[in-house]
Amino acid sequence: MKLKRVAGFGAVVVVLAMAAFLVAYWRSDNACSEPAAALARPMKAVTYCDYGTAETLRYGDVEKPVPADDEVLVHVRNAAANPLDWHYMRGTPYLMRMGTGLRRPETIRLGVDFAGTVEAVGKGVTRFKPGEEVFGGRTGAFAEYVVVKQDRAIVAKPANLSFEQAAGVGVAAITALQGLRDGGKLKAGQTVLINGASGGVGTFAVQIAKTMGANVTGVCSTRNVELVRSLGADQVIDYKTSDYTQGDQEYDVILDNVGNRSLSENRRVLKPDGHYVLIGGGGPDDGRWIGPMIKPVGAAVTSWFVPQHMGMVLADLNQKDLTVLADLMAAGKVTPVIDRIYPLAELPDAIRYLESGRARGKVVITVP
């Protein structure tokens, strides 16, 4: 009798949970379902009303933002595309929809990285002034204007950097910096292997690791060997002819931007007290339910049973680290690598190219 009551209670809980999920699913909506209102201050931007491929992106007019007392209004000159953008666009892995909207995206604006000129500031802003050239990160960067709180991810653009270059810094460079410094605990004199050294994060990671005094090995395809070597890599492995996990060299840190080798394979070439840091991996059609979270969970669990440190890093865009990067770039120690530049109206093509996994460095967007 007691087991029946427990089973009955459990069934009720399951039914209620399913009902709650269905209600939340059908109630998840966005501004696209509301009647179109006249725009008082129109600006061009890219929006998406439903999850899907690049065909869901729409270029058109939206309301220009007005800065609050502690905000800066930036006239965006350039933005940059990241894998983060196609994850949000597609709503994959599906697990992320718990925070972005179950059925439809709650926020219909895309883009994070930007570079531009301060057009106006709120009355409480003291750090920036109109006319100042800046760069940073803020949701909705694929637009003519974006507002950013003055103490968030926004800093002055180095004079020796173009807007195109500065736009490509944000997510990728922060990820590289935090992956090496915080995740990898990289120190001068140590050896670091960067898998995916020619990509957005990888091109920054090679240069940042060299500024930290490390001996750097980059892994890339044949066509990118000279690029990675030119960024300062001490050794370059062509993955088309060699498998880095089968070599004799052991590394203090492995920064993995690709995730194309198993944890056990990576452990084979990681020093006994080394750090393995997973950044990304997989394409837009891989692992739609949990996606790239499978390996990070596996890495975290593996760390419980082995002396090596294994985990992942997600970029935390903040003003302090953007300032560190700005100083490195101002000193000429780090230079953003740009692969292709697309106009904002052709953002779908830029996203498709990024999804192909063949980008060398950053894919930058020019904003009208």
Q: Which residues pair with 365 in a beta bridge?
A: 79, 342
Q: Are strands 235-238 and 215-220 parallel, antiparallel or unpaired?
A: parallel
Return averaged pLDDT per consecutive 10 residues of the chain, 368 residues in all: 53 48 59 83 97 97 97 98 94 88 94 98 98 98 98 98 98 98 98 98 98 98 98 98 96 96 96 94 68 71 87 94 98 98 98 94 96
pLDDT computed for residue 16 by the predictor: 45
pLDDT computed for residue 329 by the predictor: 98
Q: Tell me the DSSP string of 166-207.
A: HHTTHHHHHHHHHIIIIIS---TT-EEEEETTTSHHHHHHHH
What 3-state DSSP class applies to 309?
strand
pLDDT computed for residue 27 by the predictor: 57
CA distances from 301 to 108, 270, 277, 310 (A): 35, 17, 14, 9
pLDDT computed for residue 158 by the predictor: 98
pLDDT computed for residue 110 by the predictor: 97
> 155, 170 in Cβ contact below 8 A?
no
CA distances from 337 to 52, 126, 356 (A): 29, 32, 18
pLDDT computed for residue 96 by the predictor: 87
